Chain A
Amino acid sequence: MWRLTWAQMRRTGGRLVAVGIAIALGTGFITAAFLGSSTLEATALATARAGVGDPDLVVQTSMTADQVDELATLSGVAAVQPIGFVGREIGTGQGSEYLLLAPPATDDRLAPAALTSGETPDAPGEIAVPGTTAQRLGVQVGDTVQVVSQIWTADSDEPTREVSDAVVVGITADGSGLGFGLPLGLADPTDVAAWQAADGSTWSGATLVLADGADAAAVRDAVAGSVDPGATLQTGEEYARQVASSFTDGVDVFRSLVLAFAGVAMAVAGIVIANTFTVLVAQRTRTLALLRCVGATASQVRASVRLEALVLGVVASIAGVIGGIALGQVVLTILGRANAGVPLPAVVPVSVAAVVVPIVAGVLVTLLAAGGAARLATRVAPLAALRPVDLASGARRRSVRPAIGWTLVGLGVAGMAGALVVSAGGSFDLGLGLGVLGGIVSVVGLVVAAITYVPGLTRVLGRTAAAIAPARSRVPARLAAINAARNPGRTTSTATALLVGVALVVMMSTGAAMARSALDTELSEQFAVDVTVSGTALSQATIDAVRAVDGVASSVVMDGASAEVTTDDGTSTVTAYSASDIAALADVVATLPAWGRGVSMADGWVLAKDGPLTVNGLTTSGKLVEGLPSSTVLLDAETFAYASLTPDSRTVWLALTPGADPRAVANAVTDAVSDTTTGTAGATPVVAGGAVERAGYGQIVDTMLLVVVGLLAVAVIIALIGVANTLSLSVVERRRENALLRALGLTRRQLRATLAVEGVLLAGVGALVGIVLGVGYGWLGSMLLLGPTVGLGVGDLAVPWSTVLVIVAVAVVAGVLASVLPARGATRTSPVAALATE
């Protein structure tokens, strides 16, 4: 039987290769998911190890400097290094940066920060800074920097600023030392101790190195007796693993998510496999029947098909795993070259799971998907060998499946409707759970019942295409429409494979679009001012540059002063602005109400509702304006002066041109500010406002969407392979028909057009149904996820038109491309040659 199977596989090699690629894509995806997460874990562990060093013992508990010193006196302890750092602002003429500082390592095994130049600080007033920080601040070894301490005391709301000078004696390598990858500087132990005392902070533990020949257990007991009873004692390796796992909490979620998408890709591959095998068996009907005639048993025939699937599954899965590992290695090499700061492994850490899971999954999916075809093969009667081949078969409908499918759809829709009701009633988790369950059940139902609606839609779409086609192309269009609807089962599963991927992509895009529009609405309510630029030393040059930015429609400049305000709720410190140009202000702040004398405007933090508001002892009638920046009071210029306020800062408020991209404008404003400012510490103007927030959130949503769509694209690509496969099978089956048409005057171009239209119909139906479903599920998901928090209404459906257009374009182009190879074969065949073959 093996020889026979092998011979048959060779005859249909091309088709099996196409299916093999589908399987390999899916298994490669799974491998990549495993490799990605294990690389993250390896990187985290390497980072943790680099941060921990190689201590013999790690103590975790809150410790004072004295307690750390006490550990050093224990017998058998060679060196002790405290865990933790103090944070200080380091400033130069070029700016300032918040830097974590630790004392230098007392032992080479205790995570020393590697020095790239200079030396370790060993006297008070000496400091070593990380290379990137030095670059940003423009300092070199020998330069002096300011160290700013902000000391909070119990009797004051304001911190005291203490500035001291320090000499840079060394530059540390980025990502080395106890900082766990964060930029870490070193300072003299005496200075660090003083800063720690000033902050009132403690160390979070200590790492120890034992003396040569010391009894580890005895030292451990001694240490345990010396520190807090609740302290954790671990070996260095245990501690590194614990730190690493705290970094990688998110990795498991990431892996599950990617594996879920890989699962979708495998499911789609399964549909493509099932489809191809069914047709392969149909094509071999006569061969199989002849085998049965000469004595092959039904189980031998079934075993042959299964063997074929097994070989295909194993070969393709292994190819996929190798491809996944190669891809992972390429990505890792590129990342390793681009990013020096993170200790990436040089070779991808290939775990057993990364190899075994995808191969098992690939082989199982292939075997399961080919199972139907194997059963079909056993139903071939020996007599079929004697009958002429009837190509018009395959229109059988399994009557039970649609019924089950529609039942599932009904249950799922009921579940989703219930979810909406429950969610509106306030139980978020129950609603979401019910919605997800209903969604999955209904999708499964729709896939199972696809045979009841996909062929009909194909026919409608085909007729429309034929009706709008010009007279000369009408025959190709009509032939394509008829051909696409001729084998409902195959058309359905081909379109369904694409439908699933497209629906998921559109669902995610719809969700993202709705989330973004909900965020925009929410943020524009919270931020009535698009962009604010404020600072104590805001120069006229900066104001002019900011006003000249493309996309800025109007602006207003105001003086600001710190002021005490008293309302019914109490007293607070706010920034009061002198609105000298109320008309300009009204242009910028859309929500600004009419303004009378003796009226002050305040935001919701200052004022809960309209009412009296006393500024520096001057009582005004306060009005609440939604969306002003926090702790803002607006006074007309006269009142501002009357309240004896002295301006100490300037502010520009900007309104964007409607339709301007908030992200681009916010970035341009930030650039304009930094181009016109030679800032000293604390004096750099701050850019904020609704546009900036919107831009930031929008970018997060877009990035997440891009990642998810990228992952789902694999499923779509697999489905498109299915379209090409189905088309080439059609060409083989219709060899004689095509020959007859060519004899009767169908030109090569018309034949190509016929196949192209058929490809577009197959892909188009899948894409269209997928888009409709995706928009629906995306809308429902957003309602359940975001509805309760941001008050998303039923009518807030945001269709991601650009995505929809892209998908339709991809479907059309892919349909045409899928027909290119099959059409080449079909047009090369001479009409005579095809008519001659039986």
Chain B
Amino acid sequence: MTSTSPLPADAPQPLSTSPRADSHPNHANHPNHSATHADPATPAPAVRAVRLTKTYGTGGAAVHALRGVDVAFERGAFTAIMGASGSGKSTLLHLLAGLDSATDGHVLLGDTDLSTLDDQALTLLRRERVGFVFQAFNLLPMFTAEQNITLPLELAGRVGRGGIDADTRAWFDRLVDVLGLRDRLGHHPSELSGGQQQRVAIARALLTRPDVVFADEPTGNLDSRSGAEVLELLRTSVRELGQTVVMVTHDAAAAAYADRVVLVADGRIAGDLNRPTPEQVTAALDALRTASLAGSIVGAR
């Protein structure tokens, strides 16, 4: 499963290996960001959680979604976060992505501590340094595929009267070809299949060349063939475009596409697997479940 599977004919063509375009304007804005993955000796993580805590509600009704999580995600890697429903994996993703604020602890995106940012700064950070692929409702129904892809640039006011700049246009063209969306650009989301919609979302996430792309159950609403296609594309973006991807999933087969799997249970990191096979992932999950079951029985006594 981990080897390259043949891509569907209508879509992604394999990319020739190419370094990230270092002339990207964002690099000037975020010098820390250009401390690239080129130096393996000092693997500066793309995003890091430090004693991250999230509590919903107060007093007796308090729900501890995260209880002091410490975890780092390397640059240029594809990491999957796994866990059962209510384990805190989605909360972790939301906090890492700056969609929600932590009760305690820190999230460091590069050198930026998200807990120090106000809503305006967080919004701009999401716009410029983070990409998103959600499970469903990724696209605005009233915009075409192309308009959806360029939306973050438009929000930043980076689409001039003559369209986007040449450098970004070239990157856009490449993404569209890789993702096989060329003849779908003028379509509205309602005219696209689920897989196509997710590919548009991936194109949008990659267009700004963000520090990290966060994917929240990106295959949850897809059939297995489309799901495999989306996962393959995410892996391609990591392997060939040097993108950092963090994905939440509860599907062992999906997690097996990742370079590394982080297991979350009860708001804590419960395991860490490197380049696992689906079987290894399933086994680890089973172990986790048993432990948790045993724990609850012990607790009951």
Output the least CB separation between B209 and chain A (Å): 14
In the complex, A175 Cα to B114 Cα: how many Å?
80
Residue ID in chain A nearest B125 by CB atoms: A745
Residue ID in chain A nearest B216 by CB atoms: A835
A/B interface sample: 7 pairs, CB < 8 A = A392-B190, A471-B159, A472-B157, A483-B142, A745-B155, A749-B120, A832-B94
Decide if A745 touches B128 in the complex (CB within 8 Å): yes
- For window 121-140 of chain B, which residues contact chain A by CB distance below 8 Å? 123-124, 126-128, 132, 134, 137-138, 140
Residues of B within 8 A of A (CB): 94, 99-100, 119-120, 123-124, 126-128, 132, 134, 137-138, 140-143, 151-152, 154-160, 190, 204
- For window 420-472 of chain A, which residues contact chain B by CB distance below 8 Å? 470-472
In the complex, A486 Cα to B127 Cα: how many Å?
26
The listed residue (B123, B134, B140, B158) touching A747 by CB distance below 8 A is B123
Output the least CB separation between A598 and chain B (Å): 78
Please tell me if A741 contacts chain B, counting CB pairs below 8 Å: yes
- For window 478-529 of chain A, which residues contact chain B by CB distance below 8 Å? 478, 482-483, 486
Known: A392-B141, A750-B155. A745 touches B124 (CB 8 A): yes
In the complex, A475 Cα to B140 Cα: how many Å?
13
Decide if A471 touches B157 in the complex (CB within 8 Å): yes
Output the least CB separation between B215 and chain A (Å): 13
- For window 577-618 of chain A, which residues contact chain B by CB distance below 8 Å? none
Decide if A832 touches B99 in the complex (CB within 8 Å): yes
In the complex, A637 Cα to B132 Cα: how many Å?
97
Residue ID in chain A nearest B93 by CB atoms: A832
The 7 closest A-B pairs by CB, nearest first: A745-B127, A472-B157, A471-B157, A747-B123, A832-B100, A745-B155, A482-B142
Please tell me if A743 contacts chain B, counting CB pairs below 8 Å: yes
Known: A745-B123, A745-B126, A748-B120. A740 touches B138 (CB 8 A): yes
Known: A392-B190, A736-B137, A832-B100. A744 touches B157 (CB 8 A): no
Please tell me if A737 contacts chain B, counting CB pairs below 8 Å: yes
Decide if B138 touches A742 in the complex (CB within 8 Å): no
In the complex, A473 Cα to B160 Cα: how many Å?
12
In the complex, A750 Cα to B128 Cα: how many Å?
16
Known: A830-B100, A832-B99. A740 touches B157 (CB 8 A): no
- For window 711-758 of chain A, which residues contact chain B by CB distance below 8 Å? 736-737, 740-750
Please tell me if A401 contacts chain B, counting CB pairs below 8 Å: no
Residues of A within 8 A of B100 (CB): 830-832
Beyond A482-B142, A483-B142, A486-B142, 19 extra complex contacts between A and B, CB < 8 Å: A472-B156, A474-B157, A474-B159, A475-B155, A475-B157, A478-B154, A740-B137, A740-B140, A741-B140, A741-B151, A741-B155, A742-B123, A744-B127, A744-B151, A745-B123, A746-B123, A748-B123, A832-B94, A835-B99
Residue ID in chain A nearest B91 by CB atoms: A832
- Number of residues from A at the complex interface, CB < 8 A: 29
Decide if A746 touches B141 in the complex (CB within 8 Å): no
Output the least CB separation between A50 and chain B (Å): 70
Chain A 808-838 interface 0/1 with B at a Cβ cutoff of 8 Å (1 = within): 0000000000000000000000111001000
Decide if B151 touches A747 in the complex (CB within 8 Å): no
Decide if B134 touches A835 in the complex (CB within 8 Å): yes
Residues of A within 8 A of B119 (CB): 747-748
Residues of B within 8 A of A736 (CB): 137
Residues of A within 8 A of B126 (CB): 743-745
Decide if B154 touches A474 in the complex (CB within 8 Å): yes
Residues of A within 8 A of B160 (CB): 471
Decide if B159 touches A830 in the complex (CB within 8 Å): no
The listed residue (A475, A483, A743, A830) touching B154 by CB distance below 8 A is A475
Output the least CB separation between B191 and chain A (Å): 12
Residues of B within 8 A of A747 (CB): 119-120, 123-124
In the complex, A736 Cα to B134 Cα: how many Å?
12
In the complex, A391 Cα to B128 Cα: how many Å?
30
- For window 686-702 of chain A, which residues contact chain B by CB distance below 8 Å? none
- For window 275-311 of chain A, which residues contact chain B by CB distance below 8 Å? none
The listed residue (B99, B124, B138) touching A831 by CB distance below 8 A is B99
Decide if A744 touches B132 in the complex (CB within 8 Å): yes
Output the least CB separation between B109 and chain A (Å): 14
Output the least CB separation between B64 and chain A (Å): 17
Decide if A745 touches B156 in the complex (CB within 8 Å): yes
In the complex, A483 Cα to B142 Cα: how many Å?
8
In the complex, A748 Cα to B155 Cα: how many Å?
12
Residues of A within 8 A of B94 (CB): 832
Most interface-central of A744, A832, A835 (chain B CB within 10 A): A744
Residue ID in chain B nearest A836 by CB atoms: B90
Residue ID in chain B nearest A473 by CB atoms: B157
In the complex, A398 Cα to B132 Cα: how many Å?
40
Output the least CB separation between B193 and chain A (Å): 16
Decide if A746 touches B99 in the complex (CB within 8 Å): no
Most interface-central of B124, B157, B204 (chain A CB within 10 A): B157
Output the least CB separation between A108 and chain B (Å): 81
Decide if A737 touches B156 in the complex (CB within 8 Å): no
In the complex, A206 Cα to B179 Cα: how many Å?
105
Residues of A within 8 A of B132 (CB): 743-744
Decide if B157 touches A830 in the complex (CB within 8 Å): no
Residues of B within 8 A of A392 (CB): 141, 190
In the complex, A271 Cα to B231 Cα: how many Å?
51
